[in-house]
Amino acid sequence: MSELVFFCGTMDCGKSTLALQIEHNRSARGLVGMIFTRNDRAGEGKLSSRLGLVTDAVEVEDGADLYAHLVDHLSQGRRADYVIADEAQFLDPEQIDQLARVVDDLDLDVYAFGITTDFRSKLFPGSQRLVELADRVEVLQVEALCWCGARATHNARTVGGVMVVEGAQVVVGDVTGSADEIGYEVLCRRHHRRRMTAATARAAALAPDVLPVSSG
């Protein structure tokens, strides 16, 4: 029985690495995957991991019908034995419904990988739809750590080094070289709630008013 599986977690929890490993294991057994992605850091039509591995993928455009894409592909006599959808948080809810239809009507396993919540700790619509529809949700527990050492469960966005909780849901980060540079950082819930990033914590530790009082 084919399944729709949602592998989810924070940024840096190893999702793309696992996606690449599933792809590698299956192609080693002679299976052919259809790999979808959207806004990967390595650029359009790529699925990459922070460890430096990369493979070609189909870039999902706005409004693309993923079910129709697979039907077209198969009806041209080309193979697809399973489907990987990376950066699934960026897919529309309708596209998640199409992936469920791929499982049910085309009898293919679909492995979706995505970040569960955004920088405001709200579910991405694509991730929400996956939680609603998936046969299985696997929460990845790779050791993504907050600066304090606790397990990181939340994604923070920073602008010019300061954590923000307002703004568009999707802004691809690591835009360098400007004062309003956007970055992302994983935090534990406590420090996400207090808006305390590694840089903020460091600055607070160095501030004169919190230096230990010396009695001379």
* Contacts to Zn ion by CB under 5 A: 146, 148, 150, 188, 191
HSE-up (13 A, CA, CB side) for residue 67:
14
**CB contact at 8 A, 86 and 37:** yes
Tell me, yes or no, if 87 is annotated catalytic.
yes
Q: Is 87 annotated as a binding residue?
A: yes
Looking at 23, 44, 87, 185, which residue is catalytic? 87
Q: With respect to Zn ion, which residue has the nearer C-beta, 156 or 188?
A: 188
> Please, what is the minimum distance in Å from the beta carbon of residue 152 to Zn ion?
7
Tell me how far, at minimum, the Cβ of 194 lies from Zn ion, in Å: 9
Which tokens belong to 55? 């493979």
Give whichever of 35 and 188 is closer to Zn ion, judged by the CB atom: 188
The response to whether 199 counts as a known ligand-binding position is no
Of the chain, the end-to-end C-alpha distance in Å amounts to: 74
Q: Is 146 left (phi over 0), alpha (psi -120 to 50) or beta?
A: beta
Q: Tell how many helices (H) and how many strands (E) occur in the chain.
A: 6, 11
Chain CA centroid to CA 148, Å: 23
Q: Is 148 annotated as a binding residue?
A: no
Query: 41 or 189, CB closer to Zn ion?
Result: 189
Residues in binding site for ATP: 9-16, 86-89
User: Which residues are the active-site residues?
Assistant: 87
Residues in binding site: 9-16, 86-89
